[in-house]
């Protein structure tokens, strides 16, 4: 049985990822890109604690859109602000109130 170095609990009971999600304040905004396209931008997630590519993949699947990870931010094609906020809060992230 393996023991987590951070929390001291067995690997199957480890809560480090949940604590990392709760401590981060995530900001979801929209931005206008080239040719008038709208992109949803998710900022504030620590890339050391959370796998941004995996998070991006899950959000793209829930929103049925394309997207990428750039400069520590997740960018989704289109205006999916409300869907992303709901999905992130269901995953356990703390959202910034704006």
The three-point CA angle 21-9-4 to 5° equals 75
Reported in sequence order, the residue ranges of 1-98 that DSSP labels E, i.e. its strands, are 25-32, 38-43, 67-70, 73-77, 94-95
Mean pLDDT of 25-30: 90
Is the pLDDT confidence value at 95 over 90?
Answer: no
Question: Would 46 be classed as within a structural domain?
Answer: yes
Question: Would 1 be classed as within a structural domain?
Answer: no
Question: Would 13 be classed as within a structural domain?
Answer: no
Count of positions (residues) in the chain: 98
- pTM for the full model? 0.78
Question: Would 12 be classed as within a structural domain?
Answer: no
Closest by Cα among 80, 67, 85, 88 to 22: 88
CA distance 51 to 40: 19
pLDDT, tens digit, for every residue of 32-79?
988 999 999 999 888 877 888 999 999 999 999 999 999 889 999 999
- What is the domain-level CATH number for residue 88? 3.30.780.10
Question: Would 54 be classed as within a structural domain?
Answer: yes
Question: Would 55 be classed as within a structural domain?
Answer: yes
Question: Would 14 be classed as within a structural domain?
Answer: no
List the domain range (segments joined by +) for residue 44: 25-95
Domain count, the chain: 1
Question: Would 52 be classed as within a structural domain?
Answer: yes
């Amino acid at each position: 049985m393996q023991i987590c170095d951070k929390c001291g609990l067995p690997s199957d009971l480890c809560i480090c990822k949940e604590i990392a999600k709760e401590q981060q304040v995530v900001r979801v905004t929209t931005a206008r890109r080239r040719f008038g396209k709208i992109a949803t931008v998710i900022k504030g997630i620590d890339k050391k604690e959370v796998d941004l590519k995996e998070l991006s993949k899950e959000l793209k699947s829930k929103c049925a859109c394309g997207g990428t990870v750039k400069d520590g931010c997740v960018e989704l094609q289109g205006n999916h602000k409300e869907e992303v906020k709901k999905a992130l809060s269901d995953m356990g992230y703390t959202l910034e109130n704006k």
